[in-house]
Each structure stands twice: as C-alpha cells, then as structure tokens.
C-alpha cells in the first residue's frame, strides 16, 4: 500500500472527500464530491451497487453515433471472449469525461472528453511508476464515486483525482481472475472475494470468501443484504449467498442446477438471478436459462420463470425485469410475479452477435440497452419496439448517462446521442 503524503494530496488542489468520509482538503476544484442522494448522476457499469442496471436518464430518439476518440491501431484480441469473461472491461461516465478500460492494443485505462473529441489522459501519464501494458490486459470497468475515479488493474488499485490528473493513493494489491471492482461514495467492493475497501485510504476492511468457494459470478449490494453469485462444481452449477450488510454474516445460501455468469439484481426485497447454461461445464445443460426471484431476507423462492434461451443477466426497473433471450431478443417479466409482459421477437444474435457473450441490459427511464460482441441496440422499455440498432464491435460493457449511450468498440470510443441534441 502506498498512500500519498500530505503534501502530495494537497498538491492536487482538490477537496478530496467522499460523502461520509473525511480527508485532507485544500482549494476546491471542479467536480465536487457528490452527496449520497446524487450518486445516480455518476453512473458506472450496471448503474448501481444493487446491479439493477438502472440509469436515471431518458434516451430520446432519433439517434446518431458520435466518435469521441479513435485508436491508432484497431483493437484485435485473438481470444477477446476470454478477456471479456475474465475482466468485464467497460466504461464509466462523469459530466466531463468518459473513462474506459481495454482500449487500443495496450488495453490501458483512458479518459476522453465526454462532449469533445479529445483524449484527456492515459493511466501511465499520471502514474508514478513505469507501467507495462501487460498490467492492463484484464482491467474491469472503472468506478466513479463523487469526483474520484477508481481503477483496479492486474497489479494495483488506484484512486485518481481526474480534475488535477493526480493519484490520490495506490494500493499494490493484484486483481484475481474474474474479480470486479464496484463501489460508491462509501465503500468499494471486490466481487470475487466479497472484499470491502475504504475508498478514502484504499485499505481493505474485510474479506468474506476465498477462491476455493467457486468462480465469481458477481456481487450485488442492497441496503440490508448483499447477494454473491458463484459458479461451483466445475462451473456446472450455481450458488447464491446472501449476506447481512450490518455484520456480513451469511444469512442464506441457494443452490442452482445451472451456472451463473452475472451478478444478481436486488430490488424491493427480492434478489433476481438468471442461470445460464450456454457456457456451462462439459455436460450439456438440461434447462438452459431460468430467472428466479428470491426473498432477500431468507433466500426462499418467490417465483420462477423457465425461459429456455435466457442469457447472461437481468436488468430491473420499478415493476419490470428484462432478460436477454437467444430467440426472442429480450423478454420483459413482471417483478411481482414473473408473468411475461412482452418479448422482442427478434433473435438476439441479429441484434448484438453471439448471445452467449452479451452484456446484461442497461435500463434507462424509457429504454433498454442491449450490447454484445457484434452490435448495440436501444429497445423501448414499454413494448419492446426496436428504436435503433447498429453493428458495432463492442469490446466492453456500454454505459448510459446524460441521455446518451457510451460504448467501447474495437477501434474507437463512441457516444450514441439524440440527433436533436447533436
């Protein structure tokens, strides 16, 4: 762990505080830290710690693709699915910048201007060490909390003050295969080990699980409960563990006959799980694609929807759950009962490429965003009408913010914006 000195912290010129935390402070800079009530303005991949995928903004049609920044050389990963499986690279967004991992041939974390075609910095520009590109080959999506950016790469974890392009601290803790960094203004979390990290200092607070418990599927954290998904039995089946967030004791465990590849979603007392056998173990899956709603208090099953062909993970808004589906594209279910509301009736492959490697939906106020290795689509949230689709070779999970969709492709970072505002 290497914490910057008082002099180095003050040299950033920023008020380096997160709501509920206290740090050394100096002259304020643009991009003040946010209160807890404003954190939805600083979205990260999947929108929130509960992993609902919600993004509090509207996506007004019609749409145009705007190039924010291009690479000197196209990103070609011989086995890009393996990279995607391990790290889930992607994008985080603030009002000024778009932060992306796995860009160009060095995969180096990069910041570009959100509204202008300008690269702001690369991590090596502000790091105090000689970093090699191999350090970034499996860096998950960045986390934005308040005015700070957190990046966890292969060998280190960094907190960055982007306004001053300075490191606040660096923790020399490596990233395990499959681990993902999530967080907010109060806590950072590593999904694989269910580790909690103090964003003020970078110190680990506690770790609840080890790699021996199974392969990480993802972590969702609600107000009173956290749900951790794992793949067990050689990735042939799944397990969800419910933690009490007061003392992080295990409250319940539920076993599934199929593996789980994405974090559950926690919403209004329920934990929503999608099991996906399409990339399972060596034995063919007998029941591919099931959505299950568990009671967040005790893990008991509230309802189950057998959707043969459901893929990856879900997105959830106030009353509706959205599940990508191999044949039907996207299926909307009522969160209260699991009853089907509508389906897209368009093969998912035609919209985003190989369904097995889709990203979980991102849910805006009026639309659902689907992304995958060969395409990006915007679907109306009320009836499933396809508003827009384009064949883009995504190399990271998209993000939704400020009325736009941001995406990382094999040769550029783009924003999909309403043509009325371009």
Q: Based on DSSP, count helices (H) and strands (E) in the chain, helices before strands.
A: 4, 33
Residue ranges and CATH numbers for the domains of the chain are 2-418 (2.130.10.10)
Sign of the four-CA dihedral 342, 384, 361, 393: positive
Output the pLDDT for position 388: 97
- What DSSP string runs through 284-318? PPSS--EEEEEETTT--EEEEEE-TTB-S--EE-S
Closest CA to 311 of 331, 296, 282: 331
Output the pLDDT for position 181: 85
- Tell me the helix, strand and coil percentages in the chain, rounded to 5: 10, 40, 50
Closest CA to 309 of 330, 332, 327, 282: 327
Give, in degrees to the nearest 5, the angle at Cα 304 between 255 and 323: 100
Residue 195 near residue 189, CB atoms below 8 Å? yes
Closest CA to 414 of 96, 93, 70: 70
Sign of the four-CA dihedral 186, 192, 195, 197: negative
Give, in degrees to the nearest 5, the angle at Cα 82 between 285 and 313: 50
Output the pLDDT for position 180: 83
Walk along the chain (422 residues) in steps of 10 and give the mean pLDDT of each run.
31 28 29 41 58 91 94 56 56 89 78 92 83 76 84 88 89 76 84 88 81 80 93 88 93 93 94 84 59 97 94 94 96 98 96 90 95 96 96 91 92 92 63
Give the separation between CA 397 and CA 362, rounded to whole angstroms: 9
Residue where the block lists tokens 């969709």: 405
How many Å is the Cα radius of gyration of the chain?
Answer: 20
């Amino acid at each position: 762990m290497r914490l910057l000195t008082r002099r180095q912290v003050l040299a950033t010129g920023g008020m380096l505080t997160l709501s509920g935390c206290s740090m050394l402070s100096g002259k304020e800079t643009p991009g003040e830290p946010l209160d807890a009530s404003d954190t939805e303005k600083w979205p990260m991949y999947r929108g929130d710690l509960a992993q609902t995928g919600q993004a509090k903004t509207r996506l007004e049609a019609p749409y145009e693709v705007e190039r924010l920044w291009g690479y000197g050389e196209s990103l070609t990963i011989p086995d890009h699915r393996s990279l995607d499986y391990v790290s889930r690279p992607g994008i985080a967004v603030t009002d000024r910048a778009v932060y992306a991992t796995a860009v160009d041939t060095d995969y180096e974390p990069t910041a570009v201007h959100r509204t202008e075609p300008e690269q702001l910095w690369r991590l090596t520009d502000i790091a105090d060490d000689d970093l090699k590109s191999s350090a970034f080959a499996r860096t998950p999506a960045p986390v934005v909390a308040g005015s700070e950016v957190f990046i966890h790469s292969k060998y280190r974890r960094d907190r960055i003050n982007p306004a001053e392009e300075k490191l606040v601290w660096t923790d020399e803790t490596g990233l395990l295969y499959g681990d993902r960094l999530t967080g907010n203004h109060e806590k950072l979390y590593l999904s694989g080990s269910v580790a909690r990290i103090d964003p003020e200092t970078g110190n680990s607070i506690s770790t609840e699980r080890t790699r021996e418990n199974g392969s990480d599927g993802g972590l969702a954290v609600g107000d009173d409960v956290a749900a951790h998904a794992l793949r067990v039995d050689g990735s042939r089946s799944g397990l969800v563990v419910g933690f009490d967030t007061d003392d992080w004791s295990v409250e319940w465990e539920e076993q599934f006959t199929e593996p789980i590849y994405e974090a559950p979603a926690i919403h209004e007392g329920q934990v929503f799980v999608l099991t996906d056998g399409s990339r399972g173990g060596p034995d063919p899956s007998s029941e591919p694609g099931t959505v299950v709603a568990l009671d967040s208090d005790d893990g008991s099953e509230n309802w189950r929807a057998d959707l043969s062909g459901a893929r990856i993970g879900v997105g959830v808004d106030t009353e509706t759950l959205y599940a990508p589906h191999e044949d039907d594209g996207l299926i909307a279910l009522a969160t209260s009962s699991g009853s089907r509301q509508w389906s897209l009736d368009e093969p998912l492959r035609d919209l985003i490429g190989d369904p097995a490697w889709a990203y979980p939906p991102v849910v805006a106020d009026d639309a659902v965003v689907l992304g995958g290795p060969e395409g990006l689509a915007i679907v109306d949230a009320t009836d499933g009408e396809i508003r827009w689709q384009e064949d883009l070779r995504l190399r990271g999970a998209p993000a939704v913010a400020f009325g736009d969709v941001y995406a990382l492709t094999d040769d550029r970072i783009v924003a999909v914006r309403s043509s009325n505002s371009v």
